[in-house]
Amino acid sequence: MPEQTWQPAEGVAIDTYIDEGNPAVNYSGANQLILGLNAGAVNLDILMKWDLSPIPPGSTIEIATLSLWCENRNVNIDTVNITRLLPANAAWTEGGCTWNTMDGANAWAGGPGCEVEGTDIATTHLWSGNPFLLGPAGGWWVFPLEPSEVQYMLDTGNNGFKIWEETRVPGVIAFDRFTSASGANAAHWPTLYVRWVEPSGRLVEYEFNVWDPLQRIVARDGYEVSPNEVRADRWGKLLGFRSPSSKTYASLAEGPDHFYISGVTSDGETVRITPDEKLFADMILKRITR
């Protein structure tokens, strides 16, 4: 099954933290990510966003883990949550975000700190628990992320996530420090691992009906697509007759008329599809031999 490990450097990585005690300060480029309650019992939260574009649309997330190198820890820290940011905060930036603003100018959707569940962040979590058992300072803390939450980010919109200590009222000093992507030791930069299942020919993007007098191309959402909007690297399904070359694989697929679009040419009024039947066979065989 396909898998990938991300460990980007500063400039590619999007990771920072926001500090209630310094609400107008941006910490982009800081070599540490601080989480918890700092001096004066003010909240410090970590914000991250990972590029999930290498995962093909329609894939199914099986495993996802976030690993952070803990440089310093405080045993008083309580329950920690990792929670998706909602679309209202999609415009946040590492170089602009502060406790008060998402990008240096515009306020967080729900208010300072990006902490209102249902407005700023989701009501469900990628991870939730007491980090006490994750390990000591000077080692990796590995967070097994909830696959369905990562799936939601892949399918619906990836706005990043927030790591926050659940105690949102003044209390004892309790914080942990992690190496950021600006840290001197590249081996300790934040790391994300994801394993997924590729989509099969059953994920149909376009349908073509040879008996349709208007020769319409219908997209997966049921709406008509103009010829010049058809894209390669998609799956299609031909209605009206069965492709002889695909009958070989009829017992392996949901229907024998699926094909992979390896090329498209269009003059704006008509479209010519180049199907790759070998790739179709390879994909189906790969799935049944796992």
For 155-178, the pLDDT digits (tens) are 889 999 999 988 776 666 788 999
Instruction: Assign 213 a pLDDT band (cuts: 50, 70, 90).
Output: confident
Higher pLDDT, residue 224 or 150:
150
The Cα 39–Cα 21 span in angstroms is: 9
∠ CA 161-165-166, nearest 5°, is: 105
Residue 1, CA distances (Å) to 51, 63, 235, 249, 290 in order: 19, 11, 20, 22, 8
- For residue 275, the model assigns a pLDDT of 65
- pLDDT for 241: 52
Q: What is the structure's pLDDT at 263?
A: 76
Mean pLDDT of 59-71: 94
Q: Are 256 and 229 in contact (CB under 8 A)?
A: no
Return the domain boundaries, the chain.
Answer: 3-197, 206-288
3-state secondary structure of 163: strand
Per-residue pLDDT, 25: 97
Kindly tell me if the per-residue pLDDT of 254 is higher than 50.
no
Cα four-point dihedral sign 61, 276, 232, 234:
negative
**pLDDT at position 289 over 50:** no
Taking only the tens place, the pLDDT of each residue in 121-153 is 999 999 999 877 788 889 999 999 999 999 999
